[in-house]
């Protein structure tokens, strides 16, 4: 990421400085359980850091819409807990050994304890959200959780085969973009916006979330393990077809399609090397195709904010898509 973009990121997130500190404090309180193992796992996950992008979107959205109360801090922590719970479950399902450059929680505590800790985090998120005493907020969280679980199950059903772009976009909406969209909507709900405004916030979050996941999938194929903090090309090795691979499969030669399918069948690069797959992606312009799709969604997200009045929070949200598509991990 360029020095200019890094400097801009610092300036943007300084707008939320005190709020993000408060979200961290809320997460610390919410992670405490009378069962020490849950507290240990939750604290380990919180200490792992992360971009805190979902609570940041909720905070930017609520401020842009005129809300300044404590509910944004609580719900920011709720969105991060939901996100963290999904990561715990994903690592268990994928058999992941690392997360953000550290051993994944399940390698330390085991799958049994971690799946229960993930469940606890989901329930704790709902418990904290109840403090808002809003059926609308609870309804959104229930729908969000169902979408994400359905997305994970659909992905498992589709492992090992080259899915269509339509299937891919449905999956990444459920698994990633839905959470971005709900984070934006929560900020608007706290401010009491009308239905049209809420829809615009949701559209922004959806588009940013889709761009985010597309870039994630590109980085999985092109970045280094040191940068990613986890093994590269892990998606393809696990039998998942992401947008660059789908494009190469749809536009490549018969032998290239066979090579991709062999990796999906083998769940390894034993018979077809990672370099061979990268060469196929290069020959078909598949990485550039995926990055262009991410750029389009970034532009869609900015367009969704056109009717909001100018403010430093709107300017921050207009910058977020640039940060999302330019990141290197």
Candidate from 5-9, 75-79, 146-150, 242-246 with smallest mean pLDDT: 5-9
Q: Which residues touch 291 (CB under 8 Å, ≥6 apart)?
A: 214, 215, 218, 325
Instruction: Quote the CA–CA distance of 168 and 153 in Å, as a whole number.
Output: 13
First to last CA, the chain: 9
- The pLDDT of residue 13 is 76
Mean pLDDT of 2-30: 80
Determine the Cα angle at 219 with ends 216 and 225, to 5°: 120
Split at pLDDT 50, 70, 90, the class of 12 is: confident
Instruction: Quote the CA–CA distance of 245 and 165 in Å, as a whole number.
Output: 10
Q: Which residues pair with 302 in a beta bridge?
A: none
Instruction: Quote the CA–CA distance of 303 and 327 in Å, as a whole number.
Output: 21
Residue 103: its H or E element: strand 102-103
pLDDT at 3 over 80: no
The helix/strand/coil state of 98 is strand
Instruction: Quote the CA–CA distance of 40 and 51 in Å, as a whole number.
Output: 21
Quick: pLDDT tens for 73-112.
999 999 999 999 998 998 888 888 887 778 889 999 999 9
- The pLDDT of residue 265 is 95
Residue in this structure with the two tokens 């910058």, named with its chain if needed? 319
pLDDT at 136 over 90: yes
C-beta neighbour count of 59 within 10 angstroms? 29
Class of domain 3-209+302-318 as given by CATH: mainly alpha
Split at pLDDT 50, 70, 90, the class of 229 is: low
Choose between 253 and 47: higher pLDDT: 253
Split at pLDDT 50, 70, 90, the class of 10 is: confident
Split at pLDDT 50, 70, 90, the class of 126 is: very high
Instruction: Quote the CA–CA distance of 270 and 215 in Å, as a whole number.
Output: 26
- The pLDDT of residue 281 is 97
Split at pLDDT 50, 70, 90, the class of 2 is: low
Q: What is the CA radius of gyration of the chain?
A: 20
Q: Which residues pair with 98 in a beta bridge?
A: 103
pLDDT at 135 over 90: yes
How far is C-alpha 45 from the geometric centre of its chain's CA atoms? 15
Split at pLDDT 50, 70, 90, the class of 231 is: confident
- Judged on CB neighbours under 10 Å (0-12, 13-18, 19+), 137 is buried
C-beta neighbour count of 213 within 10 angstroms? 24
**177: which DSSP letter?**
I
DSSP annotation string for 248-302: HHHHS-HHHHHHHHHHHHHTSSSSS-HHHHHHHHHHTTHHHHHHHHHHHHHHHHH
Helices (H), the chain: 3-14, 17-30, 36-47, 53-64, 71-94, 105-109, 111-129, 135-158, 165-172, 178-191, 195-222, 225-228, 234-237, 243-251, 254-266, 274-283, 286-303, 312-326
| Domain boundaries of the chain, sorted by first residue | 3-209+302-318
Q: Which residues touch 69 (CB under 8 Å, ≥6 apart)?
A: 190
DSSP annotation string for 145-162: HHHHHHHHHHHHHHTTS-
Residue in this structure with the two tokens 């809320």, named with its chain if needed? 26
Quick: pLDDT tens for 234-289.
899 999 999 999 999 999 999 999 999 999 999 999 999 999 999 999 999 999 99
């Amino acid at each position: 990421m360029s020095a200019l973009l890094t400097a801009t990121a610092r300036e943007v997130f300084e707008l939320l400085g005190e709020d993000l500190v408060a979200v961290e404090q809320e997460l610390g309180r919410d992670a405490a359980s009378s069962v020490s193992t849950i507290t240990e796992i939750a604290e380990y996950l919180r200490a792992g850091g992360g971009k805190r992008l979902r609570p940041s979107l909720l905070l930017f959205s609520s401020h842009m819409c005129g809300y300044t109360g404590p509910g944004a801090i609580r719900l920011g922590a709720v969105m991060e807990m939901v996100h963290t719970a999904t990561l715990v479950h994903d690592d268990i399902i994928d058999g992941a050994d690392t997360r953000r450059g550290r051993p994944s929680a399940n390698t330390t505590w085991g799958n049994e304890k971690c799946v229960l800790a993930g469940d606890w985090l989901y329930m704790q998120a709902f418990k904290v959200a109840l403090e808002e005493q809003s059926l609308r907020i609870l309804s959104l969280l229930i729908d969000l959780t169902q979408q994400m679980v359905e997305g994970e199950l659909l992905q498992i059903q589709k492992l090992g085969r080259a899915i269509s772009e339509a299937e891919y976009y449905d999956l990444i909406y459920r698994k990633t973009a839905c959470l971005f969209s709900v984070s934006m909507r929560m900020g608007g709900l706290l401010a009491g916006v009308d239905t049209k405004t809420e829809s615009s916030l949701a559209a922004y979050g959806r588009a940013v979330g889709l761009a985010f996941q597309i870039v994630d999938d590109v980085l999985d194929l092109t970045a280094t393990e040191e940068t990613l903090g986890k093994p590269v090309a892990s998606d393809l090795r696990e039998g998942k077809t992401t947008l660059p691979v789908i494009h190469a499969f749809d536009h490549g030669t018969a032998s290239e399609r066979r090579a991709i399918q062999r990796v999906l069948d083998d769940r390894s690069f034993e018979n077809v090397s990672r370099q061979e797959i990268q060469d196929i992606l290069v020959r078909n312009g598949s990485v550039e195709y995926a990055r262009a799709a991410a750029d389009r969604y970034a532009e869609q997200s900015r367009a969704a904010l056109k009717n909001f009045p100018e403010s430093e929070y709107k300017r921050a949200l207009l910058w977020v898509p640039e940060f999302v598509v330019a990141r290197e991990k």
